[in-house]
């Protein structure tokens, strides 16, 4: 089993400070495996009919318990949240670790009842620093979902990813109460892969897909809310330049992105016209995991004249950014110079698939992707 020490330590901190901690993430990302590492005599899986039946009377099921109580797939019984609030307020010997797969609805449902009592931890697939000596190229091709990453062969990994996509569309989405035909959402998801790493024009996408703007936004909300897609919003600053104001879209797991585009091997990937887009999405997801920032704290910056940075954030009262390049020796570009000046960046890193870090200019340097799996000196709040 691959240890997930960073996530475990972050959870231990949250669990020591809050009576309720929620682990949110996509299906099969390792939430249950990680939760079982914490000592508890009370583990309920609400996908297990026997456990679910116990929650026909949840107060009877929970009120007599003490210690750590773990509830998996909690989004299936949202009426639990007011009861958990009552129990943690009146029973100081109870703490809860809850797990769920639908971020937006689960956060809304729980925050309404558990405000000030709950902390959230997002668990995606494996991080670069989880995999140790294993090549990051392996993680890039297969993605971070554990059963894809650890498959014995590329063929087995691909079969698992294909089955995962089918199960997600045919079972998981309907269980959330969403009544969209699986074939329709698959076509939408696949079409979205061709916009991966690009600014999304909802009207243009809607015309291509043959639906309304509102339908496109609804489908996008579903994929974003189930951790499949990242919408990266633009950063607005008063520089006197015309700025791009639409979001960028990324399929979050590189393995799912490749499977949807029928990229089955490293050779397929290296000859595919989406190679650069795939690299950008993989690198940005890796950087985002290192930073530990929520998606709403991250953005990109772009002007209509062509200057841009792929990832922008603020920490320690200053501005920082990352640009992603797929190449053996990135060079300083006019766009990078413009970004450093216009955004007053403390530093701009250029993430690339090489082996050496070297300066490109004052406040600009390269950052090999492999350095993200070790103590990279990025700014923390």
Tokens of residue 80, six digits: 């639990």
The answer to whether the beta carbons of residues 100 and 22 sit under 8 Å apart is yes
* pLDDT tops 60 at residue 123: yes
Position 238 confidence tier, pLDDT thresholds 50, 70, 90: low
CB atoms within 10 A of CB 54: 15
* pLDDT value of residue 292: 86
Please state the pTM of the whole predicted model: 0.92
CATH 3.40.50.300 domain position(s) in the chain: 5-122
Q: What value does the mean pLDDT take over residues 14-42?
A: 93
Decide if pLDDT at 240 tops 80.
Answer: no
pLDDT digits (tens, 9 = 90+) for 325-375: 999 999 999 999 999 999 999 999 999 999 999 999 999 999 999 988 665
What is the pLDDT of the chain when averaged over all its residues?
Answer: 91
CA distances from 87 to 61, 71, 99, 324, 374 (A): 12, 14, 18, 48, 41
Average confidence (pLDDT) over 238-263: 90
So what's the pLDDT on residue 103? 63
What would be the CATH architecture of the domain defined by 5-122?
3-Layer(aba) Sandwich (3.40)
Report the largest interatomic distance among the alpha carbons of the chain, rounded to a whole angstrom: 66
State residue 265's pLDDT score: 94
Percent of the chain past pLDDT 70, that is, above it, reads: 96
Q: How confident is the model at residue 150 (pLDDT cuts 50, 70, 90)?
A: very high
The three-state DSSP-derived secondary structure of 80-108 is: HHHHHHHHHHHCCCEEEEEEECCHHHHHH
Residue 53 reports pLDDT greater than 70:
yes
């Amino acid at each position: 089993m691959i240890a997930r020490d960073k996530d475990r330590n972050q959870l231990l901190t949250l669990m020591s400070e809050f009576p309720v901690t929620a682990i949110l993430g996509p299906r099969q990302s390792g939430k249950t495996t990680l939760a079982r590492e914490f000592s508890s005599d009370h583990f309920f899986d609400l996908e297990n009919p026997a456990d679910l039946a116990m929650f026909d009377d949840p107060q009877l099921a929970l009120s007599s318990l003490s210690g750590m109580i773990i509830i998996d797939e909690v989004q299936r019984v949202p009426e639990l949240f007011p009861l958990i609030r009552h129990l943690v307020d009146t029973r100081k010997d109870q703490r809860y670790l809850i797990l769920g797969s639908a971020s937006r609805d689960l956060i809304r449902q729980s925050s309404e009842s558990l405000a000030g009592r709950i902390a959230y931890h997002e668990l995606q697939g494996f991080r670069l620093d989880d995999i140790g000596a294993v090549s990051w190229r392996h993680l890039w091709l297969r993605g971070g979902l554990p059963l894809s990453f650890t498959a014995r062969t590329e063929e087995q990994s691909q079969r698992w990813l294909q089955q995962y996509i089918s199960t997600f569309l045919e079972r998981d989405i309907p269980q959330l109460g969403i009544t969209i035909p699986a074939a329709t959402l698959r076509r939408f998801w696949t079409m979205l892969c061709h916009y991966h790493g690009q600014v999304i024009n909802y009207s243009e996408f809607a015309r291509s897909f043959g639906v309304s703007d509102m339908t496109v936004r609804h489908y996008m909300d579903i994929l974003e809310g189930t951790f499949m897609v990242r919408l990266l919003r633009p950063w607005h600053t008063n520089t006197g330049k015309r700025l791009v104001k639409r979001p960028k879209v990324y399929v979050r797991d590189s393995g799912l992105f490749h499977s949807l585009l029928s990229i089955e091997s490293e050779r397929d990937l290296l000859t595919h016209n989406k190679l650069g887009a795939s690299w950008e999405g993989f690198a940005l997801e890796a950087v985002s995991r290192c930073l530990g920032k929520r998606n709403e704290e991250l953005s990109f910056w772009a002007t209509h004249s062509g200057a841009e940075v792929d990832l922008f954030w603020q920490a320690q009262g200053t501005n920082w950014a990352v640009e992603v390049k797929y190449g053996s020796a990135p060079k300083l570009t006019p766009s990078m110079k413009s970004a450093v000046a216009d955004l007053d960046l403390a530093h701009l890193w250029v993430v690339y698939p090489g082996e050496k870090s070297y300066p490109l200019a004052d406040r600009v340097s390269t950052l090999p992707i492999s350095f993200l799996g070790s103590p990279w000196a990025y700014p923390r709040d």
